[in-house]
Amino acid sequence: MTLRVGVIGGGQLARMMIPAAVNLGIELSVFAETAGESASLAVTTLGDFRDAAAVLPFARTVDVVTFDHEHVPQEVLAALLEAGVTVRPGPEALLYAQDKLLMRGRLSALGLPVPDWARIDEEAQLAQFLSDHGGRAVVKTATGGYDGKGVRVVRTAAEASDWLALGHPLLAEELVEFRRELAQSVARRPSGEIACWPVVESIQRDGVCSEVIAPAPSSRGRLADVAEEIARSVAENLGVTGVLAVELFETTDERLLVNELAMRPHNTGHWTIDGSTTSQFEQHLRAVLDLPLGATGCRDEWSVMVNILGGPATGDLDDRYPHAFSDEPSVKVHNYGKSPRPGRKVGHVTAAGADLDEVVFQARAAAEHYQN
């Protein structure tokens, strides 16, 4: 019997599930918004993911529906459940990846470490929060943000007035003094099994993940244990199925605080394709199908992933293959097949080896070939 997984969303995450599905003989079909998206190889349906009537016929052709992004509205998810479709992660878990205010409230209630935060409905509340937190705060839209859009550092309440005027509550957070940003990915099956990759360091530029070092340097021992414990607790308490990425701040006083949750394969886990026994894309498919999870050890001492962002002069990535391949033959390149608009994530490279400095150098040098 062929196993059938349906993915809503046709971006690079859906695309990178395709090789894993092919290897396992899983029939992967993708519901995309428009033709020519990154995962077009596996697209079977084009339509609007906000329209239950468009998604339902697609969902009925698969054993389980999962996601490339977290934007599918709760009403559409409810309609799928109502129709008897298996949805993983389920809507009651996904809610906390869709709404940062709900996520902060739930994690606080669970006693998990988060930055100081408050719900803001009007300017006076933000003014109070600012005066309680040294005159600076990070303000976030509760829904719809990604890659730093929907995140703003403010010093006065008026700086958030345009967002408040939209009529939705905002999230205010203390501006965390972090040493670095980390991410902990895990996968959980409906039957409860959990597998964790090592915690990684993620380096952001302009709110966008730029590089990932796996494992995070100097993380073995307590730091790795705490990161894993936090992610396990989130996965179990929220009933997450599939891959869960927990973005963390490591504070200057060595605490870990949860920043964000993603309930799907995540940019900080791309290194696993080349660097772990089981990639996050294969693991996600196994987990949503409730199959035993794969081993999550590292193939090399260090893996470093660098994103390739489109630049003003970036043409097709494959135009650069002759030079890039000959200069960095051991670096693995992943081309998302997207048109390289400036700032857009169009691919990534992964280098691996025993000497971290060398691996970082190789990965950056390879990425450079594509970026200018």
Output the smallest distance, CB 202 to ligand ADP, in A: 8
Cα dihedral 106→146→69→30 (10° resolution): 180
What DSSP letter does each residue of 286-337 carry, written as one string?
A: HHHTTPPPPP--BSSSEEEEEEEE--TT---GGGGHHHHHHH-TTSEEEE--
3-state secondary structure of 352: strand
Considering CB under 6 A, how many residues would be counted as binding ligand ADP?
19
Among the listed residues 247, 205, 201, 209, the one whose alpha carbon sits nearest the alpha carbon of residue 348: 209
Pairing of strands 117-120, 64-67: unpaired
CA distances from 254 to 173, 180, 188, 223, 227 (A): 19, 10, 27, 9, 12
Output the smallest distance, CB 117 to ligand ADP, in A: 8
Measured CA to CA, the distance from residue 115 to residue 113 in angstroms comes to 7
Query: Does residue 115 bind ligand ADP (CB under 6 A)?
Result: yes
Site string for ligand ADP, 135-164 (x = CB under 6 A): ---x-x----xxxxxxx-------------
What the block records as the tokens of 103 is 């996520």
Q: Which of residues 254-313 bind ligand ADP (CB under 6 A)?
A: 259-260
Site string for ligand ADP, 158-197 (x = CB under 6 A): ---------------x-xx----x----------------
Query: Does residue 81 bind ligand ADP (CB under 6 A)?
Result: no
One of 44, 45, 128, 204 touching ligand ADP (CB under 6 A):
204
Query: Does residue 210 bind ligand ADP (CB under 6 A)?
Result: no
Output the smallest distance, CB 246 to ligand ADP, in A: 11
> Which residue's CB is nearer to ligand ADP, number 140 or number 332?
140
Terminal-residue alpha carbon distance, the chain: 47
Binding site for ligand ADP (CB under 6 A): 115, 138, 140, 145-151, 173, 175-176, 181, 204, 207, 247, 259-260
